Amino acid sequence: MSEKRKIRVLVAKPGLDGHDRGAKVVARALRDAGMEVIYTGLHQTPEQIAETALQEDVDVVGLSILSGAHLTLVPQVKKLLRERGMEEVLLLVGGIIPAEDEAVLKQEGAADAVFTPGTALENIISYIHENIGQLP
């Protein structure tokens, strides 16, 4: 990562879920923390998200899901990112994700990190800073 380049983050709402409070708050916090944030808006298909991630050349994709469809949607996004050569993009998931599903998502390598209700914004920001360094 070049020194001057800001960390680029895509915050996305996959699926049919309209709960965007968390996504918007996180998007704003990341922007306030000096990152370049693109927010997709609602009701995105995994294809749309992967395509936007590619077009916008992001370092991080943050998915917000509160509808219970995470086990279907997150692996799909990961697969589509891989297909587009974005294996190294950090994939973060926020929302209502039961602990056992969180384990599944991490084991399958679909998600790098999962942030559940009550997570401090500061933790998300520092997670990105700590893990982005591993990018080429």
Q: Which is nearer to other proteins, 87 or 116 (CB)?
A: 116
From 33, 54, 96, 104, residue interacting with other proteins (rule: CB under 8 A): 96
Encoded tokens for 34: 């000096």
Q: How many chain residues touch other proteins (CB under 8 A)?
A: 37
Encoded tokens for 104: 């599944």
From 8, 33, 36, 42, residue interacting with other proteins (rule: CB under 8 A): 42
Query: Which residue reads 């992967």 in tokens?
Result: 50
- Secondary structure element (H or E) that encloses residue 69, with its range: none
Q: How far does Cα 12 stand from its chain's mean position?
A: 7
Interface with other proteins, residue 34, by CB under 8 A? no
Which residues lie across from 113 on neighbouring strands?
92
Interface with other proteins, residue 45, by CB under 8 A? yes
From 6, 24, 84, 129, residue interacting with other proteins (rule: CB under 8 A): 24
From 15, 62, 94, 95, residue interacting with other proteins (rule: CB under 8 A): 15
Q: What ranges in 65-120 are assigned the alpha helix state H?
A: 70-83, 99-107
- The span from the CA of 98 to the CA of 105, in Å, is 11
From 33, 36, 51, 71, residue interacting with other proteins (rule: CB under 8 A): 71
Interface with other proteins, residue 41, by CB under 8 A? yes
